[in-house]
Amino acid sequence: MVTHLCAWSQVVPTDAETELDAITDDVLSIVGGKRFAVRAGMDHVHFTAALSTNLVSARLNSPSLEMRRTRAYVIPQVSDAIKFPLSPYAVCKPPVPLTLAVGEHLSGLGTASANVRIYMLASLGPATLPPVPAGERIVVRCTSNTPLRPNEWTTCNLTPDVSLAVGTYTLIGMLPISANAIAARAIVLGQVNRPGVPALAGTEAAVKKCDPLWLTAVQQYPMGSFPHTDLPQVQFLSSAADTSEVVYLYLVKTA
């Protein structure tokens, strides 16, 4: 079982904590347009992130968290350009994954000092994640020219710069880039969950500013395995209708 990245987004009123709208998800059920139903095997939070201009606070909310008197606050990222810094400090990753109750509903709540849109992410999965498998590690640059639909997940087919050698590969991380990207998650053949990460908003040249620790902060675990003939698709979440995407896939060749 691997992780699954879910997201919320909404324009909020000034200085009022608001339960954000859940972004339509083709894996998790949504209750009342706001809350994700927590499934077995996806009942632990591995990291969260929140982004907006004028962002004051963001937090997760569920009955079990309230019962334990736990306010799961997220490190707020305030950016005029609406972009996550690719730094381990951009996400809130608890030392031990936060436990939820199977069957309960999970909300994202946000407050801003102006009438702005807030984005919030949560990576859900099992209590523990397996280690990276042994094998040769490679990086493959891929591109797509898919028109992204603002504020929802858009599936992109990737074209690699070079063909993969015959064999089996495991995805252990990725660096997704588009002009207004918020996040991205992988669709691996035969796998339900869609593991993901915050994305880099801007140009590919900005990758040079990525903190190397970023690749170990929310990645470096098996996100899914596939044969060389079936490269994963990537779903982008963007604040605007971008038409050009770049994704660096970090892979281990296992067979």
Q: Kindly state whether residues 149 and 249 are assigned to the same domain.
A: yes
Evaluate if residue 19 carries a pLDDT over 90.
yes
**The pTM is what?**
0.95
Higher pLDDT, 85 or 53: 53
Higher pLDDT, 71 or 38: 38
Q: Enter the tokens of residue 38.
A: 């927590």
Query: So what's the pLDDT on residue 82?
Result: 78
Overall number of domains in the chain: 2
In the chain, % of residues over pLDDT 70: 99
* Predicted confidence (pLDDT) per residue in 175-192, tens digit: 999 999 999 999 999 999
Query: So what's the pLDDT on residue 103?
Result: 97
Q: Where are the alpha helices (DSSP H) in the chain?
A: 63-67, 214-217
* Predicted confidence (pLDDT) per residue in 114-136, tens digit: 999 999 999 999 999 999 999 99
Decide if 81 is inside a domain: yes
How large is the average pLDDT for residues 79-108?
A: 87
Domain boundary among 80, 103, 125: 125
Evaluate if residue 217 carries a pLDDT over 90.
no
Q: Kindly state whether residues 197 and 85 are assigned to the same domain.
A: no
- Give the angle 231-237-240 at the CA atoms, nearest 5°: 125
Domain boundary among 125, 149, 165: 125
| C-alpha separations of 4 from 1, 48, 126, 188 in Å | 10, 12, 10, 12
| C-alpha separations of 246 from 140, 174, 193 in Å | 11, 10, 22
Alpha-carbon gap, residue 49 to 51, rounded angstroms: 7
Query: So what's the pLDDT on residue 226?
Result: 97
Average pLDDT, the chain: 93
Decide if 131 is inside a domain: no
> Residue 81: which domain range?
4-125
Amino acid letter for position 163: S
Domain boundary among 98, 125, 152: 125
